[in-house]
Amino acid sequence: MKILKTAFLVTVFLFSVSCHGNKTSVKTEPCASTNNDKVAQNKEVYDFIQIERRGGGDKLFNLYPTGNKDTLKAEIFRYNFKSIDETRFIVNNADRDSAFSVYYAILENKRAILADSVSKDQSLTGTWVHYYAVKDTTRTEITNKEVKDILIQFEWMLKDAFSE
């Protein structure tokens, strides 16, 4: 009976640590909650968004707000499998308005970024993209599919900035 009780306490402790101590410099995953409002789950206000694509279309860049809500600063560290150190500016227009709105909603924590569940892609080939909301040096992975589907537009905008 004592062994069973000890095993139960260890299990409860590990579950507690995994749900409440999950903020790392790499990734934050949602934990079980009775509150369905995922924005309330995560109360951070973020500094910038980081986008990393590996495989086809390889790139790594950060998107920072500027003093102008219609302009974002992109600091690019990797593009097409090459390490670079460049800065480009992405300017809003009517076609980009929804992406800019979602960007600022994420930074201000007015848009849910955590999904109810996260599926792990087990494939060995192809391309992988990760979106992170960053506060100081802590990255929180954006797992909300609707948000990710909008954030992909910034990759296209960056491609346009390189072709100008």
pLDDT at 162: 82
Residue that wins the pLDDT comparison between 34 and 101 = 101
Residue that wins the pLDDT comparison between 10 and 94 = 94
d(CA 86, CA 152) in angstroms, rounded, equals 20
Q: Is 64 helix (H, G, I), strand (E, B) or coil?
A: strand
CA R_g for the chain? 18
d(CA 118, CA 101) in angstroms, rounded, equals 24
Q: How many CB atoms lie within 10 A of CB 151?
A: 21
d(CA 156, CA 150) in angstroms, rounded, equals 11
Residue that wins the pLDDT comparison between 25 and 114 = 114
Phi, psi angles (nearest 5°) of residue 61: -155, 155
Q: How many CB atoms lie within 10 A of CB 47?
A: 15
pLDDT at 117: 62
- Check pLDDT > 80 for residue 42: no
How does the average pLDDT of the chain come out, rounded? 78
pLDDT at 24: 34
74-94 per-position pLDDT tens digit? 999 999 999 999 999 999 999
126-153 per-position pLDDT tens digit? 778 999 999 999 999 999 999 999 999 9
Beta strands in 38-126 (DSSP E): 48-55, 59-65, 71-79, 82-91
- Check pLDDT > 70 for residue 29: no
